[in-house]
Chains A and B, each alone.
Chain A
Amino acid sequence: MTWSATARGAHQPDNTAFTQQRLPAWQPLLSASIALPLFFCAGLAFIGLGLGLFYSSNGIKELEYDYTGNPGTGNCSACALADQDRAPPLRCSCSWYFSLPELFPGPVYLYYELTNFYQNNRRYSVSRDDTQLSGLPSALRHPANECAPYQRRASGLPIAPCGAIANSLFNDSFSLWHQRQPGGPYVEVPLDRTGIAWWTDCHVKFRNPPLVNGSLALAFQGTAPPPNWRRPVYELSPDPNNTGFINQDFVVWMRTAALPTFRKLYARIRQGNYSSGLPRGAYLVNITYNYPVRAFGGHKLIVFSNISWMGGKNPFLGIAYLVVGSLCILMGFVMLGVYIRYQDQNDEDEDEE
């Protein structure tokens, strides 16, 4: 029985750096000469960044209005009342008047904000069929099981687009009117409803099924719209490049939010006289109030905002940078202190030796 020790590799092991664990290596040590400058530099850089972020965030203008219509909060209350216990609710309009004392610098973005809306709920967010939305004809009439119970209508017709997300499409609409002179007429401010979704979403992820005889309606024949919808998907917009699955409002809605409070881009204001922003004056937002949120204690808001180099208004990031930067510097001093004491002690020790 001599195989185990000798039969295999009776020879001397290879003398390589690898086998002998002598690979040349960089052995960094957390020494004071590296750590302390690093801490001070990082701290200063972070404080600088934090200040920059803080000020640019502060420079961003935001104007928001809660139009949920809780009793006594404006003229949307009527709609809210009418909406109660009715799904789908009746068509109802209300408006929000505001005035700008000075120019609201552009470009100005118009958002709607929903609170307490759990787009990130797992059962909600899986309820979609990306294959169907990518325009695959086979998938169009065979929605995925994840869409259930919004997979097929009671009649057996497949729903397109299927799923809870599509069914709950936000369907309030807004129009913005500007009164240039007091008492003057309200002029509609052009809202750019395109370019609000990601390019990849509109061009790759969401595609309409191939047209049948040049008609999108025929392409969707044999499918039914989601139960909450009043119009079929191919009539979401009169613009043929913005209807069906590639309708930008729909695409934006389908990109579900990470948090229960979220904003979605509704329109950009960048045309005509408004390319540099909203000039001072009185404004009116006409709201078509469709979307019920009060049932689950949600709020609907309308938000005007502009952006800076780092995006929208965000005081958190600037403050966080300031805090972390200051902590770095503070820690740097603590470490420096300890290091100096330790060095002294070390020297003494060596003297004693």
Chain B
Amino acid sequence: MFCSKKKSLEVERIVKANDREYNEKFQYADNRIHTSKYNILTFLPINLFEQFQRVANAYFLFLLILQLIPEISSLTWFTTIVPLVLVITMTAVKDATDDYFRHKSDNQVNNRLSEVLIDSKLQNEKWMNVKVGDIVKLENNQFVAADLLLLSSSEPHGLCYIETAELDGETNLKVRHALSVTSELGADFSRLAKFDGPDTKLMQNSGKTKFKRTSIDRLMNTLVLWIFGFLVCLGIILAIGNSIWENQVGNQFRTFLFWNEGEKNSVFSGFLTFWSYIIILNTVVPISLYVSMEVIRLGHSYFINWDRKMYYSGKSTPAEARTTTLNEELGQIEYVFSDKTGTLTQNIMTFKKCSINGKIYGEVHDDVSQKTDITKKNEPVDFSVNPQADTTFQFSDHHLMESVKLGDSKVYEFLRLLALCHTVMSEENSAGQLIYQVQSPDEGALVTAARNLGFIFKSRTPETITVEELGTLVTYQLLAFLDFNNIRKRMSVIVRNPEGQIKLYSKGADTILFEKLHPSNEDLLTLTTNHLSEFAGEGLRTLAIAYRDLDDKYFKEWHKMLEDASTLMDERDERIAGLYEEIERDLMLLGATAVEDKLQEGVIETIASLSLANIKIWVLTGDKQETAINIGYACNMLTDDMNDVFIIAGNTAVEVREELRKAKENLFGQNRSSSNGHVVFEKQQLELDSVVEETITGDYALIINGHSLAHALESDVKNDLLELACMCKTVVCCRVTPLQKAQVVELVKNYRNAVTLAIGDGANDVSMIKSAHIGIGISGQEGLQAVLASDYSFAQFRYLQRLLLVHGRWSYFRMCKFLCYFFYKNFAFTLVHFWFGFFCGFSAQTVYDQWFITLFNIVYTSLPVLAMGIFDQDVSDQNSMDYPQLYEPGQLNLLFNKRKFFICMAHGIYTSLALFFIPYGAFYNVAGEDGQHIADYQSFAVTMATSLVIVVSVQIALDTSYWTVINHVFIWGSVATYFSILFTMHSNGIFGIFPNQFPFVGNAQHSLTQKCIWLVILLTTVASVVPVVVVRFLKMDLCPTLSDQIRQRQKAQKKTRPLRSRRPQTRRSSSRRSGYAFAHQEGYGELITSGKNMRAKNPPLTSGLEKTLYNSTSWIENFCKKTTDTVSSFSQDKTVKL
């Protein structure tokens, strides 16, 4: 037995089943899952190698090497090695813990047990030891950790049902069948392992996860490059200065500053000085910057994990920041791409309302005769009298139950139809409870509704349907099954009841069904149409319901024609479709159903709030257009107030282009249409658009389906699409493949330079989650693929609001403040050396003590700015949620950008000037209080260091807007630490031990007792800080930001009305709109009538099985044709259900 499969690398794979020796020749990968990177031995070398690949670390290593050259070394080696070792150790520890958890999870998967046929015996084997070619026996509800080929199963015809929750998040069961050759082999359910370990379909598809970086990161890279350029410039200036100095002054200074002439000249000296200054000035971008950023992000991630307001008690799932490096990006989101099912909706369908024979049920009428939605005060109907009732079903209108009791024949017919016309399979569980296996949740809702109202679908065979009608078992003969498809948009069954009457029951889209009605239905039609509009207006998914009485003779003729048609070789489908059309006419309208595709809690509010925050939400769904539109209305993303809703549903590139062009014309008016569609003017056009965008008034929406999207994503139309889509308030893409989801995200990401966020719950969202800047997985569901690929996960869509508006905004705000301060601080700290260069013969003499340089960034000033970066808040979380407009600065990149950077830099330069020239002026030829000279190098250094620490501490105190205990401790503590370390290092004791390392002995005691020095420090501090205070004060008075205003109000503790904050409108429109939506897959009708999915031990009541067995191959072919997945491919971690 051979099996082969085409792969990109290996053309085919030849496997002998159950022959390990033979298969070993090919050296296929084993089935061990390796996601870990290191083991104990390789950890150190690999990790160090990886770490030094990072530019920053390599740069600091380079600096360290420079410092070891005595001619260049202007700083002792420990100034660099201490922070570098600290950083490398911290990263290594983090990597090690990460890898430890990966090892743990790998082991968990690898050690799961499976039954493998070895030496003609079934043996328990760990999944990691399963080899290619092994035959595996699986039982019900087992996990699968390899790609398998189904050989046979205990089900008839080699069928098996699998759940692919871990792949795509869908919990429906999918049918797979064995190859017909192997299906008869045995009753035991066994499979052949085909691809193992890293070769599995899942591992192959998961691809390399792209390393995501935030836009701040990218900006930082640019800035760091600029800073290096700036450094080099400074270095060159100082090097030239040094050459000139050595030439003019130093040359004559040889009496005192001897060097061997001839060996060195002034140019060479300048060259060495250049490197020396590079070492000294490198503190502009200290290593601690990168570490601090990581620490801050980690802190923010913990706050996300800890947030109880993002904890879903229903599934006891807290929010989780799975990536700790992207937090501030959450504060800059412009586009949200959302999946529908499982994300916006709960994937739960509930039977909400119905209209039977012109009467509406499921609605409560007030005295004012104003219709309101079902509210809690209305007791739900008690179904306990019905022992078969599904307890989870709730319905609030007692009228319907009463009508059932009164015996309204139309109501009976309606419910009978719901119980008969569907593709649901029933089974009884161990407790004797009736369980429905549904392949479309809509149908499930309808059948369950009928069940609770007394029309219980009990069981089916290929030929019959048994229904318990108000306590009596009735078996209907299933004569024909007119299956659903996307063109027909309806399904029908033809049954013969025990009385011998033949009836056609049909349900489907109102627009389609209403055309098929008998003329006598006119009045009812108007009434029902109104009801349908009402249902649709509430965002419910509607179906129209109708029946037709058929007479025996007519049916027999028709049936004969159908049988003839199905044996035809050509045009078979067309003929059958025609016959279906033919019998589905003159229908009698019964009414309509309205099923609610239940939205997740708080979706509407969240969407409204995010829209106010200027975040555009695009829905990308695999669902069909109607469903997607429906949800759009249900979420208030689409409203009838919209000026226009463009629907792009063309099937060819030309059509799509034309539709896009028309939509744009509509949007801009005719005058601009001439230039549309030309890629040549792309650039100007995009610029123009941004202008036009401002002038577009009114709300537009764009709905585009997968087919059109494929054409629209082609390069020449892409811009039109983007342009149009970005001007619409709402964009809904339906019927899109996972790849298209990613393409749409990429499109916006690349051409709009906007920060994107993708949120989804299934494996079909993985690609989009991975390609968006931020990917969010909905957790707490069975499928984990989305969560595993995501950067953040939480259980409910509504938490997105808090994640973005509170955590994201704060993170961005804090990170920006942190960066501004950090650059300011280090410019102030470092540039003093530059000014000093002009007074020390450009000799790369440092202004400060070496120890101060070592400790300044990692000890004296690190904690206060970290505390600000982690804890600062401008406005409270509640206000952040109440005023979504506060989010805008993040989107517009206002808090940290190149301009801000230059401001920080200028601020730093100003401070460094004040720091250097005030002591310079004050120390010039000045004696101290005791008459001893004060302008010695060491006192100068101590004065400047102390001024610097005080100035930057005062500055951080000004910047901190939220002083928690921690901030107090860190800020005061840092200043205190500075002084205690200063006095320790200048103490006699430590000098006695290391005289060469601590030459500043006695300096602190001597200098810091001089009034003059304190006067200098005070003056320096005030002179550096006053301009900042003035600018901030004037800014707050002249052009206060929204955040300033809210802070003031917050301070005033006044309860004010929300500022420009419009609450979402709760009113829903009720214009005529078809709410038809039906999540149904074609092909199930045939499956049912063939009986393939029914167990043999459920003996058919009639002898239909033989007949259907006869054409068993044909339905399998059809089924294969209609299902998009490859039949035999399985991937890791699906639950198998038998």
A residues at B contact (CB < 8 Å)? 1-6, 9-15, 19-21, 23-30, 32, 35, 39, 42, 46, 49, 53, 87, 107, 109, 111, 113, 116-125, 129-131, 133-134, 136, 144-145, 149-150, 164, 167-168, 196-201, 204-205, 228, 252, 255-265, 268, 292, 295-297, 305, 307, 309-314, 316-317, 320-321, 324, 327-328, 331, 334-335, 338-339, 342
| 11 residue pairs from A and B, CB less than 8 Å apart | A4-B320, A12-B318, A49-B1015, A118-B249, A130-B995, A131-B995, A257-B933, A311-B927, A312-B931, A317-B1019, A328-B1026
Cβ contact within 8 Å between A13 and B964: no
CB-CB under 8 A from A201, the residues of chain B are 1002
Given that A23-B871, A35-B1033, A338-B1034 are contacting pairs, would A120 and B937 also be in contact in the complex, using a CB cutoff of 8 Å?
A: yes
Establish whether residues A14 and B256, one from each chain, have CB atoms under 8 Å apart when the complex forms: no
Does any Cβ of A come within 8 Å of B780's Cβ?
yes
* Least distance between B881 CB and chain A CB atoms (Å): 13
A4 touches B788 (CB 8 A): yes
Extra A-B contacts (20), CB below 8 Å, given A42-B1022, A263-B935: A4-B320, A13-B306, A19-B307, A23-B966, A24-B965, A32-B1033, A87-B255, A111-B933, A118-B253, A122-B840, A198-B1002, A205-B991, A255-B936, A257-B936, A259-B839, A263-B927, A312-B926, A317-B922, A320-B1023, A342-B1038
Distance, CA A122 to CA B260, complexed state (A): 17
Task: For B964, give its contact among A24, A124, A125, A136 (CB under 8 Å).
Answer: A24
CA distance A307 to B925 in the complex (A): 13
User: Are B1036 and A30 touching (Cβ within 8 A)?
Assistant: yes
**Are A5 and B320 touching (Cβ within 8 A)?**
yes
Given A120-B845, A317-B1012, A342-B1037: A296 and B784 interface contact (C-beta under 8 Å) = no
Q: Is the CB of B306 within 8 A of A14?
A: yes
Residue-wise, chain B 352-382 has the 8 Å CB interface mask toward A (1 for contact) of 0000000000000000000000000000000
Contact B787 A5 (CB under 8 A): yes
Q: Given the complex, which residues of A lie within 8 Å of B963, measured CB to CB?
A: 25-28
From A3, A32, A87, A205, give the contact of B108 (CB < 8 A): A3
How distant is the Cα of A14 from the Cα of B307 in the complex, in angstroms? 9
Task: Output the least CB separation between B549 and chain A (Å).
Answer: 54
Is A205 in contact with B1001, judged by CB distance below 8 angstroms? yes
Stretch in contact with the other chain, from B150-158, B308-316, B563-571, B1089-1097? B308-316
Within 8 A of A (CB), among B783-808: 784, 787-788, 793
* A119→B937 contact, CB < 8 A: yes
When A118-B257, A164-B258, A200-B988 are in contact, do A257 and B935 touch as well, CB less than 8 Å?
yes
In the bound complex, what is the Cα–Cα distance between A12 and B543 (angstroms)? 42
Interface residue B166 (Cβ < 8 Å from any Cβ of A): yes
B428 at the A interface (CB under 8 A)? no
Q: How far is the CA of A338 from the CA of B259 in the complex (A)?
A: 62
Q: State the CA gap A313–B922 with chains docked (Å).
A: 10
In Å, the complex CA distance between A167 and B254 comes to 12
Question: Which of these, A9, A116, A144, contacts B318 with CB under 8 Å?
Answer: A9
- Establish whether residues B1026 and A258, one from each chain, have CB atoms under 8 Å apart when the complex forms: no
Task: Return chain A residues, CB-CB under 8 Å to B461.
Answer: none
Assess A324 versus B1023: contact at CB under 8 Å? Given A130-B999, A205-B991, A310-B1012. Answer: yes
B1005 touches A317 (CB 8 A): no
Q: Which residues of B contact A331 (CB under 8 A)?
A: 1026, 1030
Query: Would A256 and B937 count as touching, CB distance under 8 A?
Result: yes
Report how far A120 CA is from B1026 CA in the complex, Å: 32
Residue from B104, B962, B1037 in contact with A339 in the complex, judged by beta carbons closer than 8 Å: B1037
Q: Which residues of B in the span 286-308 have a Cβ within 8 Å of any Cβ on A?
A: 302-303, 305-308
Across-interface contacts of A53 in B (CB, < 8 A): 1015
In the complex, what residue of chain A is closest to B998 when comparing beta carbons? A130
Interface check B1010, CB cutoff 8 A: yes
Q: Is the CB of A307 within 8 A of B1026?
A: no
CB–CB A321/B1011 < 8 A: no
Q: Which residues of B contact A32 (CB under 8 A)?
A: 1033, 1037
Q: 10 smallest A-B Cβ distances: which pairs?
A: A200-B1002, A312-B927, A258-B940, A19-B306, A316-B921, A168-B256, A122-B843, A296-B252, A122-B845, A26-B963
A1 touches B249 (CB 8 A): no
Is B928 close to A, CB under 8 A? yes
Please give, as numbers and ranges, the residues of chain B lying within 8 Å of A200 by CB-CB distance: 988, 1001-1002, 1005-1006
Q: Is B1051 an interface residue (CB 8 A)?
A: yes
Interface flag for B109 (CB, 8 Å): yes
Q: Closest residue to B872 on the A side, CB-wise?
A: A25
List the B residue with the shortest CB-CB distance to A38: B1029
Given A134-B995, A201-B1002, A327-B1026: A13 in contact with B307 (beta carbons within 8 A) = yes
Which residue on chain A has the smallest CB distance to residue B999?
A: A130
User: In the assembled complex, which residues on chain A have CB atoms less than 8 Å from the CB atom of B940?
Assistant: 258-259
Task: Determine whether B920 belongs to the interface, using a CB cutoff of 8 Å to chain A.
Answer: yes
Contact of A264 among B784, B933, B1050 (CB under 8 A): B933
| B147 on the A face (CB < 8 A) | no
- CB of B934 closer than 8 Å to a CB of A: yes
Q: Which A residues are CB-close (under 8 A) to B965?
A: 23-24
Find the residue from A13, A258, A314 having the highest chain B CB count within 10 A: A258
Interface centre among A46, A120, A342 (most CB of B within 10 A): A120
The distance in angstroms between the C-alpha atoms of A60 and B108, with both chains bound, is 84
Whether the Cβ atoms of B317 and A6 lie closer than 8 Å is: yes
CA distance A219 to B276 in the complex (A): 39
